[in-house]
Structure 1
């Protein structure tokens, strides 16, 4: 009989005849069981007070005893299993439950050999008491250009991570004197398009994170051929005779079907419209034209299944209101009284009817929830 120290540090009395061994260069050495697999459900990110489970599984070995280790081989749980898998639940998660985990097993009888350790898994805990960071996009998101996603936290000495569609994209440590981190995208490509969020943790608690920021949408606009076939820019024209109080339509047209067009005035998103599957034209109707409607307009489009990849903007078209007595009278009033145009419209009895230009959500909000691209 001999005494052996298990990988966990525990000592066991083992009969030599019960040990598995192999001969290697005339030396006898322990032959470990295969490494167990380890996983976590439902996710390796859990909010304070939430529940997760760690699963450890051998390669179809029965009657095994599993040890769960945390942060550099500290044993926190032991379970015997008749089947190849054992589950270690973490209930009502606390900040101290965050960290790295591994598992290891050996026969229930207490015999050597032990298995190799599993790979590491990471449990991250989100703390709602940490103020969530802000996030914004800087630069013009044209293919081949450089843009930056900026994340700002409430204090210094933070580590930020950037996520795209809930998948981890990048992690950066900022200098102790700063509270803002920049994630640059050099030579922007179509694959970079998507929705991004960021989170942070304090340096001393690397597995306790803030909640995610609000999302920012990176919409990649085709400017010219750059490793990818670009969308041809649309044409734009004004249908009707634009005069104060009249109706006109701005039409955007290109080749293709299943398109979504967006209309911009002076670089601001005005409206978004989905074109019928068989159509290639987006029509934007203006009821009862007012002085505010005059200006330069452009439009973009994207295919229905690719909401973040937009065409170049069209050439601009100018909506010029024809001069008429009512308009001349309003212009004179404006110069004399300095009243705002909307009030002048009421005073002259030319108030715009409700249900005018399609812009239910205000500038920057689409009618169907789709994002509009950044202005060219």
Structure 2
């Protein structure tokens, strides 16, 4: 459990059967024992205005009415960590393509520029319970996902904890986003309006369509994974407009989509769509012709000047 300086934190203790009293203990500090009488099977302990002294390992125990002089075994320890803004935020990267396939393997790497042996933590922004940790003797750690599942998708961030101690860095500034190709989602269809060869400067619209929305649609340029645009989505159709078509827009495009309620699970790509732009060759030919006319005109002018110069000298 991670908390910021001065904030409050609540630790929950729970048992399957009814208990009369719960005890919260901090490892290595017998004076820190807290007791709370309760007639149910759970209890909560709140620590207010958390400081460095509150960090450490905590366990719970309980006793009941029948054996009030005996307590249960201690629970699995829980660590209370304090965020230290003085610690550098780690970096994070994902060694995968834009969208990973189910049951494939990917890894997320976390690192700090200067560090000692410590523990790296990987946080899932969509599910706070998915906290992974790796002990490292270096300034980096690798989190490996083998046979990835749909529930592994999402945004991930890293934090770093030097050891020994219970101080932890703030989370990484950027996220590593794990997108997964869901084979249960059929590929969409892609189309363009107007159809066929399109003139320079004209406006076009590219549509992407599927069934059973609502969906979010994205347009990609083939061969360039960084060329990605969010399409204007309307339930089961997405649209992307280009108002002033140029030669740079020429190429092959495809689209994909994700469900609104599962934004990290993507469909397969549509069939490629070729955007053909007319007027590009003609524009090039006109330019060459103008250059040729300029050169010829300059030569004629030089010849006329020479003739006039010669005639003037003869006279």
Deviations 1:46-75 (A, max 9, x none): 1123233456799564xx7x8653214x31
Tell whether 2:233 aligns with 1:275: yes
Q: Greater helix percent: which structure?
A: 2
Tell whether 2:215 aligns with 1:256: no
How many aligned residue pairs are there?
A: 274
Q: Which residue of 1 aligns with 2:160?
A: 200
**Cα distance change of structure 1 residues 270 and 330 upon mapping to structure 2, 3 Å threshold:** farther
Distance 2:187 2:118 in 1: 43
Residues 61-210 of structure 1 correspond to what in structure 2 (within 5 A)? 61=20, 68-72=24-28, 74-77=29-32, 89-102=46-59, 113-119=69-75, 120-140=77-97, 141-154=100-113, 155-164=115-124, 165=126, 166-174=128-136, 176=137, 178-205=138-165, 207-210=166-169
Tell whether 2:203 aligns with 1:247: yes
Query: How many angstroms does 1:180 deviate by?
Result: 1.6
Deviations 1:105-136 (A, max 9, x none): 889xxxx8242354243322111111111111
Q: Greater strand percent: which structure?
A: 2
Aligned CA RMSD, in angstroms, stands at 3.4
CA contact (8 A) 1:104 1:114 kept: no
Distance 1:234 1:69 in 2: 57
**Cα distance change of structure 1 residues 48 and 292 upon mapping to structure 2, 3 Å threshold:** same
Query: How many angstroms does 1:312 deviate by?
Result: 1.2
Q: Which residue of 2 aligns with 1:8?
A: none
Query: How many angstroms does 1:83 deviate by?
Result: 6.4
Tell whether 2:49 aligns with 1:49: no
CA contact (8 A) 1:244 1:327 kept: no
**Cα distance change of structure 1 residues 320 and 124 upon mapping to structure 2, 3 Å threshold:** same
Q: Which residue of 1 aligns with 2:171?
A: 212
1:297 to 253, 269, 288: 253
CA contact (8 A) 1:79 1:86 kept: no
**Cα distance change of structure 1 residues 80 and 243 upon mapping to structure 2, 3 Å threshold:** closer
Distance 1:249 1:158 in 2: 53
**TM-score, with normalisation over the residues of structure 2?**
0.73
**Cα distance change of structure 1 residues 60 and 234 upon mapping to structure 2, 3 Å threshold:** closer
SS of structure 2 residue aligned to 1:256: coil
CA contact (8 A) 1:263 1:271 kept: yes
Distance 1:230 1:106 in 2: 51
* Structure 2 gap segments, 5+ residues each: 293-315
Distance 1:291 1:276 in 2: 29
Query: How many angstroms does 1:290 deviate by?
Result: 1.2
**Cα distance change of structure 1 residues 211 and 330 upon mapping to structure 2, 3 Å threshold:** farther
**Cα distance change of structure 1 residues 153 and 332 upon mapping to structure 2, 3 Å threshold:** farther
**Cα distance change of structure 1 residues 286 and 332 upon mapping to structure 2, 3 Å threshold:** farther
**Cα distance change of structure 1 residues 251 and 53 upon mapping to structure 2, 3 Å threshold:** closer
Q: Which residue of 2 aligns with 1:238?
A: 192
**TM-score, with normalisation over the residues of structure 1?**
0.62
Distance 2:58 2:242 in 1: 62
SS of structure 1 residue aligned to 2:155: strand
**Cα distance change of structure 1 residues 198 and 262 upon mapping to structure 2, 3 Å threshold:** same
CA contact (8 A) 2:208 2:237 kept: yes
* Structure 1 gap segments, 5+ residues each: 1-43, 223-228, 337-376
CA contact (8 A) 1:158 1:201 kept: yes
